[in-house]
Amino acid sequence: MLVVMRHGASDADVARVVATIEEMGYGARPMPGAQRTAVGLVGNDGRVDAGRLEALPGVANIIHVTQPYKQVSREWREEDTIVTIAPGVSFGGTEVPVIAGPCSVESEAQIIRAAQLVKEAGATALRGGAFKPRSSPYAFQGLGMKGLEMLALARRETGLAIVTEALDDEGAHRVAEVADCIQIGARNMQNYSLLRTVGRIGKPVLLKRGMAATITDLLMSAEYILAEGNGQVILCERGIRSFDPSTRNLFDLTAIPLVQKLSHLPIVADPSHGTGLRDKVIPMGRAAIAAGADGLIVEMHPDPERAMSDGGQSLYPDQLARLVREARAIADAIGRSITPPPGTAPSARG
């Protein structure tokens, strides 16, 4: 529920609303806005009797949030949320960042080379898993802490922001020391303990849609992070399971405008896991930008044939450069622009 204050309501009016909500046994989140302040009521799982609040001085009206996800919904917040993971790298505004890099961090030489190629291609941030959620316990599980150190080195060398996955609560704290944005993978979308942990850590989170998750499931998972006080959540469409083995997953592009209608949070698209097929990544990456995605996350490997995971869906470096070039033209056509890599002169931006 949202208590919308009148234009010109005093600080004392707002404080009285907060105190009343707390007396009623709920949490209060004051949200100052450009026009007027609203106070969010959190902690209710059903309709709250607004009688006591309506009568307080300075209260304009009460909005009951009808969606089961509260703070994530557009009813809660009308304006788009902009999530900034590093200086100049923001999701949800007119600029559209491209996150690219290998599926896994494999060696220092590999990730440094990948980072240089990502930057040369015109992409904005570096991805790469140090902790990998693999379907087989016998498959390469990532380099762990050593991989994180290599990512930190790649950032020092190139200035690229780092997006990397956390698999569990303990790992999340370690990942948070290095990552600019903590990725929660599809397999962990409903790991509620992990969601609460990254909510409390307070760093930006990239939350991927689960393999069999509905849009509501995805938004409810995001609510766990916001409920802990962390509003910096970027959602990610990465394809869902279907009956058709022609592609690894069914890349659900409709999710992008759907989520943007239901939520104020930004949503990015992952055409690499969405299709699982290298030659489908460029067309579907272009389509995602056209559909209004607030960013792309794609796999690119300096030498995909030798990749230790997801080589078959990883772009060659020159393909990434082409995707960024073509994405720029599409973004331009819809009044947006691809975020330039760090260190790009302002005159060359846009």
210 is in the binding site of which of ligand PEP, Mn ion, none (Cβ under 5 to 8 A by kind)? Answer: none
Pick between residue 35 and residue 135 the one whose CB is nearest to Mn ion: 135
* Closest distance of CB 207 from ligand PEP, Å: 10
User: Closest distance between Mn ion and the C-beta of residue 163, in Å?
Assistant: 12
Residues 202, 285, 128, 186: is their CA dihedral positive or negative?
A: positive
x/- binding map, residues 300-329, to Mn ion, per CB under 5 A?
----------x-------------------
Contact 228/59 with Cβ under 8 angstroms? no
Task: To the nearest 10°, report the CA torsion of 242, 244, 249, 254.
Answer: -70
Binding residue (CB under 6 A) for ligand PEP from 99, 103, 161, 298 = 103
- Grouping H, G, I as helix, E, B as strand and the rest as coil, residue 161 is strand
At 225 the three-state DSSP class reads: helix
DSSP 136: S
Q: Which residues within the stretch 17-76 sit at the binding site for ligand PEP (CB under 6 A)?
A: none
- CB–CB of 36/43 below 8 Å? no
Q: Report the partner that residue 202 touches, choosing among ligand PEP, Mn ion, none (CB closer than 5 to 8 A by kind).
A: none
Minimum CB separation from ligand PEP for residue 348, in Å? 30
Pick the stretch among 7-15, 29-37, 56-64, 183-191 that binds ligand PEP (CB under 6 A).
183-191
From 2, 28, 103, 162, residue interacting with Mn ion (rule: CB under 5 A): 103
- CA–CA distance, 207 with 259 (Å, rounded to integer): 13
- The one of ligand PEP, Mn ion, none whose footprint includes residue 280, by CB under 5 to 8 A per kind, is none
Minimum CB separation from Mn ion for residue 299, in Å? Answer: 6
Q: Is 129 in the site for ligand PEP (CB under 6 A)?
A: yes
Residue 134 CA to residue 105 CA, distance in Å, equals 14
> Rounded to whole angstroms, how far apart are CA atoms 330 and 288?
10
Q: How far is the CB of 246 from ligand PEP (least distance, A)?
A: 18
Nearer to ligand PEP among residue 48 and residue 184 (C-beta): 184
Q: How many CB atoms lie within 10 A of CB 49?
A: 9
Q: At what angle do helices 108-120 and 317-333 cross, to 10 degrees?
A: 30
49-57 long-range contacts, CB within 8 A, separation 24+: 50/1, 50/3, 52/20, 52/24, 53/3, 53/17, 53/20, 53/21, 56/13, 56/16, 56/17, 56/20, 57/9, 57/13, 57/16
Provide, rounded to whole angstroms, the least separation between the CB of residue 191 and ligand PEP: 12
Given 59, 105, 186, 296, the residue binding ligand PEP (CB under 6 A): 186
Strand partners, 40: 2, 29
Convert residues 244-283 into a mask of x (bound to ligand PEP by CB under 6 A) and - (unbound): -----------------------------x----------
Q: Which residues of the chain form contacts with Mn ion (CB under 5 A)?
A: 103, 310
Q: Which residues of the chain form contacts with ligand PEP (CB under 6 A)?
A: 103, 129, 133, 185-187, 208, 238, 273
